[in-house]
Structure 1
Amino acid sequence: MGWLQSLLCPLKKLWDRLHSGQKKRRGIYILYKDVKSCPCEDVHVLWSILVESGAAPASLPSK
């Protein structure tokens, strides 16, 4: 049965990695919606700096 565990272990790691990536993207999108709804211009400026630096996913608009 050790061979079965050695086969399933990498698959479980791959599943966990793919699943955790979706949570990260969802968190960035929630943050983007919060920034978009904020009336403070400083927050929008900081968000645009973050997006231009490449730290956030490129698919999100800057404002």
Structure 2
Amino acid sequence: MGWLQSLFSPLKKVWFKLHSTQNKRRGIYILYEDVKSCPYEDVQVLWSILVESHSPPLPS
């Protein structure tokens, strides 16, 4: 029975990793839609700061 578990363990890890990545992307999109529809300027400013802080660095 241990060999069966060792066979499915890597597949299970890959399965969970794929689904967790999909959920994270979906969550960010929902958050983006909420921020976009929010009338408060403070929220818009905070979102822009967050987006700018996570952008990839420019090549030098």
Q: Which has the larger radius of gyration?
A: 2
Deviant stretches of 4+, over 2 Å: none
Structure with more of its chain in helix, by fraction: 2
TM-score (norm 1): 0.80
TM-score (norm 2): 0.83
Paired position in structure 1 for 2:15: 15
Let me know the Cα RMSD of the aligned residues.
Answer: 1.6
Aligned partners of 1:38, 1:26: CA distance in 2, in Å?
Answer: 19
Aligned partners of 1:38, 1:3: CA distance in 2, in Å?
Answer: 53
Please show how residues 1-63 of structure 1 align to structure 2 within 5 Å: 1-54=1-54
Aligned partners of 1:43, 1:2: CA distance in 2, in Å?
Answer: 52
Unaligned runs of 5+ in 2: none
Q: How far did 1:39 drift?
A: 0.8
Aligned residues: 56
Higher relative contact order (CA 8 A, sep 6+): 1
Name the amino acid aligned to 2:31.
L
